Chains A and B, each alone.
Chain A
Amino acid sequence: MTDARTMPAPAADSATLVRVRGLHFSQGRRKIYDGLDVDIARGRITAIMGPSGTGKTTLLRIIGGQWRPSAGAVEFDGVNVHRQRQKGLYALRKRMSLLFQNGALLTDLSVFENVAFPLREHTKLPEAAIRDIVLMKLEAVGLRGARKLYPEELSGGMARRVALARAIALDPEMVMYDEPFTGQDPISMGVLMRLIQSLNRSLGITSVIVSHDVEEVLSIADFAYVISNGQVLARGTPDEIRASESEYVQQFLQGRPDGPVAFHFKARPLADELMERA
């Protein structure tokens, strides 16, 4: 049974790298999270899924300490992220990285310099070592040949792959991927999926993937959450999620427009508004 209402949150232990408890967060008057509980297992691939606008990206930014929740706690390896001063927070961020949905490459730097950026900032490696690491990371995402290009010369998919190379440049303990497969052709998507898996299996990097590509992400995830309306609808292994009896989950997995998850943003009936205008 995978319905969140009947499944208790996993117990916190050393196997849990990130623990989110009772998270409340609002943007303006819109409540995004209303008591969210999520655990990210160490060394595993965890998928966060849910309809658009449910705050999946918001969750990554809150875990990274960029946004502060109105209530609740986020712990990274036992350390409360939002109780840190800048120095402590930056120390935590050196152990995690976030792959932004749009890549967020620094536009005044070449592809090579973008990947080298965190190495130059946080290590005292000689130039030859930085060059070798950058070339290896770019080779992993298939863009070694594009190292002299600038961000404006890249497609959206290529920019995200460069951003991935940058995100893993320092070999962090955890990588958070925000829609990594969006805009990728089937070959690039397959390579990225294998790369995320191999980073996880060979280096033990904890991965958190936020994605709408349900089948792709479930095929590589060890554990998954489906969230909607500020709460966890379902949690479990990919097989448990697929077998969920929850109507919400099945509607989301099968992409049906009708069901308990509303396709339309909350509004008055269309007929009422049309009549009012007439």
Chain B
Amino acid sequence: MRGGIFSVLSDFLSGLGRAQFFLLGILRAVPAALLRPRAIVKQLYMIGVLSLIIIVISGMFIGMVLSLQGYHTLVRFGAASSLGVLVALSIIRELGPVVTALLFAGRAGSALAAEIGLMRATDQLSAMEMMAVDPMRHVIAPRFIAGIIAAPLLTAIFCVMAIGVAGGHAIGVELLGVDAGSYWSQIRANVDVHDLIQSFIKAAVFGAVISWIAVYQGYHAAPTSEGVSRATTSTVVVSSLSILALDFILTAFMFR
């Protein structure tokens, strides 16, 4: 029993160590990758633009639900006019970055891991190495950079959809009759630029972590269909848990 626990712990720590060395390799390749903006733009499209639909729809529905739940609670205390600030702060501080990151891990992270895992399985990465082309610069770093850029942008879109006309506003103002002026003025009075910056920082950190986990899992996937499948599953599971743990740590530091 004790041996089993030590073995699991040892595997976890050695995996963590390998992942950190891998991250160092990515960071070394980042300057060269930045000189190829077209590769980064292509990846932004693949992992950012193609994730838009799921982010927009999720943002809308989460804003609507939050508005509905918030209204029925606030109205009991005669504070229905504060619905805007409840929705906005909940979305900007927590739900926006966290839900976007979870969706991003499921949609883009798994796709990244599968793509790189298949490149490994079909010898495309080996072929690059044999052509004296570093896959870290050519394949991994552009995807990592694109992940860091895409996550905050998607979070911003998620927040706009959740708080705005199609989300919280549609339910709170149009359906439940909260005054539009107080909905928006409460938001303007209580949401400051620090909330937006902290949300942005969270989203960028989540984007970096998801991309790191996805490219690591894909790059080290066994060159079999089962290996690729395991890499995509691990990406989603490890990313999701990391996002939730990191969210707590970042929140604890930011809102002291």
In-complex Cβ contact of B132 among A91, A102, A163 (8 A): A91
Tell me the A123-162 residues at the B interface (CB within 8 Å): none
A106 B132 Cβ-Cβ under 8 A: no
A94, CB-defined interface residue at 8 Å:
yes
B180, CB-defined interface residue at 8 Å:
no
A264, CB-defined interface residue at 8 Å:
no
Nearest neighbor of B123 in chain A, beta-carbon distance: A104
| Chain A 84-105 near chain B by CB (<8 Å), digits 1 or 0 | 0010001101101110101011
B127 A90 Cβ-Cβ under 8 A: no
B7, CB-defined interface residue at 8 Å:
no
| Chain B 127-171 near chain A by CB (<8 Å), digits 1 or 0 | 111111110000000000000000000000000000000000000
Max chain A Cβ within 10 angstroms of own Cβ: one of B124, B131, B133: B131
B126, CB-defined interface residue at 8 Å:
yes
A93 B130 Cβ-Cβ under 8 A: yes
Would you give the shortest CB distance from A66 to chain B, in whole angstroms? 6
Number of interface residues of A (CB under 8 A): 23
| Chain B 188-230 near chain A by CB (<8 Å), digits 1 or 0 | 0000000000000000000000000000000000000000000
B132 A94 Cβ-Cβ under 8 A: yes
B129 A66 Cβ-Cβ under 8 A: yes
B132 A104 Cβ-Cβ under 8 A: no
A104 B126 Cβ-Cβ under 8 A: yes
Number of interface residues of B (CB under 8 A): 13
| Measured CA separation A215–B125 after assembly (Å) | 33
Nearest neighbor of B118 in chain A, beta-carbon distance: A107
| Measured CA separation A50–B100 after assembly (Å) | 54
| Measured CA separation A217–B240 after assembly (Å) | 53
Nearest neighbor of B42 in chain A, beta-carbon distance: A108
A93 B122 Cβ-Cβ under 8 A: no
A90 B134 Cβ-Cβ under 8 A: yes
In-complex Cβ contact of B131 among A61, A93, A107 (8 A): A93
B124 A106 Cβ-Cβ under 8 A: yes
| Chain B 96-135 near chain A by CB (<8 Å), digits 1 or 0 | 0000000000000000000000010011101111111110
| Measured CA separation A118–B127 after assembly (Å) | 11
Find chain A residues with CB under 8 A from B128 CB. Answer: 106
| Measured CA separation A102–B128 after assembly (Å) | 14
Residue positions of A touching B, CB distance < 8 A: 61, 64, 66, 86, 90-91, 93-94, 96-98, 100, 102, 104-107, 117-118, 121-122, 163, 166
A-B pairs with beta carbons under 8 Å apart, 14 shown: A64-B130, A66-B130, A90-B132, A91-B132, A94-B132, A100-B123, A102-B122, A104-B123, A107-B119, A107-B124, A117-B133, A118-B131, A121-B131, A122-B132
